[in-house]
Amino acid sequence: MPSSRPSAASAIRRLIRGGLSSLLLALSLAGCATVTPIADGPPPRPETIEALIYQWDQVERKEGPAPAAYRDQYVAALKALSASLAETERWRARAESK
């Protein structure tokens, strides 16, 4: 009569598969942690934000005012972009002063 218990060989295979999976996960995480980010190009300049605001105003004059929800989202996006630019400049200044 066949036993309902798994054999030792199948238990060892499961341990090996689990170990290999853990090893691959650890290697992929270590690889991600050690890769330096690559900048695709220079960051946007503050003039870029001014140009976006000017273009938005032109579109609103031509098409009419956008709904308030769109305006609020646009303002939030511009504030986030501005904060990001300021943080980038602070980071650059710290890096250059070292």
Spatial contact of 44 and 7, defined as CB atoms under 8 Å apart = no
Q: How far apart are CA 79 and CA 74, in angstroms?
A: 9
Could you report the per-residue pLDDT of 60-88, keeping only the tens digit for each? 999 998 889 988 998 899 888 888 888 88
Terminal-residue alpha carbon distance, the chain = 75
> For the whole prediction, is pTM greater than 0.75?
no
Q: How far apart are CA 82 and CA 75, in angstroms?
A: 10
Spatial contact of 44 and 81, defined as CB atoms under 8 Å apart = yes
- Tens-of-pLDDT digits for all 98 residues of the chain? 555 666 777 777 777 777 777 767 776 766 665 556 555 666 666 677 888 888 888 899 999 988 899 889 988 998 888 888 888 888 888 888 87
Residue 63: per-residue pLDDT: 92
